[in-house]
Amino acid sequence: MTQEELLLTSETQRFRTEHPETIKDWERQLASGECGPDLHFCFYALEAYPNLTARLDAAEYRFDFAINAHILHAKLQEQFLEDGHIMPLALEHANEALSDIYRALNEKHPKGRAEILKSLQ
């Protein structure tokens, strides 16, 4: 998988570099199955996308992908809040946007994946 397909954008890379202890904590939470609701959503929503999950066949990739998605999810929520949405609505919009990203990455055809990855940059 490419770095873009792992949602490893410049923003997620920067967050990972600046907050290594947070990343380790999230990895521990995922491994134990005891994570907060947003991280839980980012990880377990993958089950609905079998093609994407198949490409993330190693557990480390799934954890990394979910953590990158979690970082992206927080950024999406922040953008919706800045646009004037209240928190529950911002969360719902972020969930929908992340599901759209997962759906696009689940596409078997690279063309569909390329479109959504372009929007992340």
Domain spans in the chain, listed from the N-terminal domain onward: 10-120
pTM of the full structure: 0.83
Mean pLDDT by 10 residues, the chain (121 residues): 82 95 96 94 94 82 93 95 93 94 82 65 57
Helices 59-82 and 87-106 cross at an angle (nearest 10°) of 140
Helix segments in the chain, DSSP class H: 10-18, 20-32, 37-44, 50-55, 59-82, 87-106, 110-120
Q: What is the model's pLDDT at position 91?
A: 94
* pLDDT, tens digit, 9 for 90 and up, residues 80-101: 999 999 999 999 999 999 998 8
